[in-house]
Amino acid sequence: MPLAVRRARLATLVTSLTALVLVPAALAGNGGFLPGEPHSPNAHRVHDAYIFVSIFTGVIFIGVEGALIAFMIKYRRGKRARTEEGLQIHGATRLEIIWTVFPVLVLAAIGTFVFYKLPGIADAPKAAAADETRIGVQGAQFYWQFTYPNGAVSVGRMIAPADQVVNEDITAPDWDVIHSWWVPDFGGKYDAIPGKVNKTWFKAPAGTYVARCYELCGIQHAAMKASVKVVPRPQYDAFIAKRASAAGNLDLGREEWTGVCQSCHRLDHKYIGPALNGNPLLGDRKGIETLLRNGGVQMPPVGRDWSGKQIDALVAYTKRFAKVGG
Ligand SMILES: [Cu+2]
């Protein structure tokens, strides 16, 4: 192959590989290197550990790959015969000590740093009872439901107090499958396992943070989106008080409709399940309760453990769709 053609081919290969590496990185933001910006102390610690480990892995990667390329060039065959023997070397005590001790030191440094950071990731900081709260997070096919200390419930959107410790009890109903509660800005993912409660916490400034299910949990796994809206404490208190009272029924019903029913149903056309507009069941308290608690042909029992108030709230909202064009 002529030299010019070989060079052109090599240049194309290098350019293509560089583009393959750089384009996704650029599209991913922050160079595609770091996870999203942390917004909770435990997420900050995960972030720190990520950077600390990356420094070592980055330096080692460049050192090893650099040496590999340098050696490939320096010791290439060139004009020597294929059959020519290479230099025979036996033992290199200093080198062997270096490549044993260096990894031990690197692993010890990483281990020490991570174990130093771990307790702050796993355990919530001590706070006065008034400055912390506990919110139940339940993943079910295909929605997220949040339960507050006064019994209030929300679906698809958690409301939480700002700058205070929020403990999360994460689980899934006994008859459901495993989901995974992930708010990237708050750090790691936590499995929502039927019959088991996983605990984590966050302490975040006011803002809205996206959440997702990170465990492939069925046909509408991708619909299991949620958000965490962090608001000043008085606003949070007002929200849960209203939601626990009859005044919050319609809001809860709307959330159940969009968060639960609409994961699989649309009003005017077949989606995963049948179209619902004009379905008399939407105004039939008893009928809808039977369906929610037992499930349908393909529908999971999405409301098996719902309170009567939750079912009332749904019907209060959906009865408007019970008549065609209603
Ligand atoms: Cu899920």
Who's near 38: CB < 8 A, 6+ residues apart?
44, 46, 47, 185, 186, 187
What residue numbers bound the domain in which 291 lies? 253-321
Residues 116 and 46 in one domain: yes
Cα(200) to ligand 1 centroid in Å equals 18
Q: Is residue 3 assigned to a domain?
A: no
Q: In this structure, is the dihedral angle defined by the CA atoms of residues 186, 188, 193 and 198, taken in order, positive or negative?
A: negative
Residues 63 and 145 in one domain: no
pLDDT at 178: 97
Nearest partner of 282 among 254, 316, 235, 247, judged by Cα: 316
Residue 64 reports pLDDT greater than 80: yes
Task: Please state, in angstroms and rounded to a whole number, the distance separating the CA atoms of residues 143 and 325.
Answer: 27
Helix (H) or strand (E) holding 311: helix 308-318
Helix (H) or strand (E) holding 134: strand 132-140
Cα(125) to ligand 1 centroid in Å equals 29
Q: Are 150 and 194 in contact (CB under 8 A)?
A: no
pLDDT at 294: 92
Query: 145 - beta bridge partners?
Result: 138, 155
Residues 165 and 224 in one domain: yes
Task: Please state, in angstroms and rounded to a whole number, the distance separating the CA atoms of residues 109 and 98.
Answer: 16
Cα(210) to ligand 1 centroid in Å equals 15
Q: Is residue 326 assigned to a domain?
A: no
| DSSP state string for 169-235 | EEEB-TTS--EEEE-GGG-SEEEE-BT--EEEEE---SEEEEEEE-S--STTGGG-EEEEEEE-HHH
Cα(8) to ligand 1 centroid in Å equals 49
Of all residues in the chain, the percent with pLDDT exceeding 90 is 66
Put residue 302 in one of left, alpha, beta given phi > 0 → left and psi -120 to 50 → alpha: alpha
Cα(170) to ligand 1 centroid in Å equals 12
Residue 325 reports pLDDT greater than 60: no
Residues 136 and 240 in one domain: yes
Residue 214 reports pLDDT greater than 60: yes
CATH number for position 38: 1.10.287.90
Q: Is residue 7 assigned to a domain?
A: no
Cα(181) to ligand 1 centroid in Å equals 8
Task: Please state, in angstroms and rounded to a whole number, the distance separating the CA atoms of residues 194 and 169.
Answer: 12
Residue 282 reports pLDDT greater than 50: yes
Cα(224) to ligand 1 centroid in Å equals 6
Residues 201 and 279 in one domain: no
Cα(161) to ligand 1 centroid in Å equals 25
CA 15 distance to own-chain centroid: 34
Average pLDDT value over all residues in the chain: 90
CATH number for position 173: 2.60.40.420
Q: Is residue 171 assigned to a domain?
A: yes
Q: Is residue 4 assigned to a domain?
A: no
Residues 107 and 140 in one domain: no
Cα(142) to ligand 1 centroid in Å equals 6
CATH number for position 273: 1.10.760.10
Residues 118 and 204 in one domain: no
Cα(112) to ligand 1 centroid in Å equals 35
**Residue 182 identity (one-letter amino acid):** W
Cα(36) to ligand 1 centroid in Å equals 21
Encode pLDDT of 115-149 as tens digits.
Answer: 998 888 888 888 777 778 999 999 999 999 999 99
Task: Please state, in angstroms and rounded to a whole number, the distance separating the CA atoms of residues 284 and 295.
Answer: 16
Final residue of a structural domain among 198, 219, 244 = 244
For the chain, helix, strand, coil in percent to 5 are 50, 20, 35
Residues 113 and 19 in one domain: yes
Who's near 284: CB < 8 A, 6+ residues apart?
315, 322
Residues 135 and 183 in one domain: yes
Task: Please state, in angstroms and rounded to a whole number, the distance separating the CA atoms of residues 33 and 26.
Answer: 9
Cα(175) to ligand 1 centroid in Å equals 13
pLDDT at 326: 47
Cα(146) to ligand 1 centroid in Å equals 14
Final residue of a structural domain among 220, 244, 268 = 244
| DSSP state string for 177-195 | --EEEE-GGG-SEEEE-BT
Residues 180 and 204 in one domain: yes
Residues 196 and 178 in one domain: yes
- Highest mean pLDDT among 13-27, 81-95, 99-113 belongs to 99-113
Q: Is residue 160 assigned to a domain?
A: yes
* Tokens linked to 63: 């050192």
Q: Is residue 2 assigned to a domain?
A: no
Who's near 235: CB < 8 A, 6+ residues apart?
159
Q: How many domains does the chain have?
A: 3
Final residue of a structural domain among 244, 276, 304 = 244
Residues 223 and 295 in one domain: no
Q: Is residue 263 assigned to a domain?
A: yes
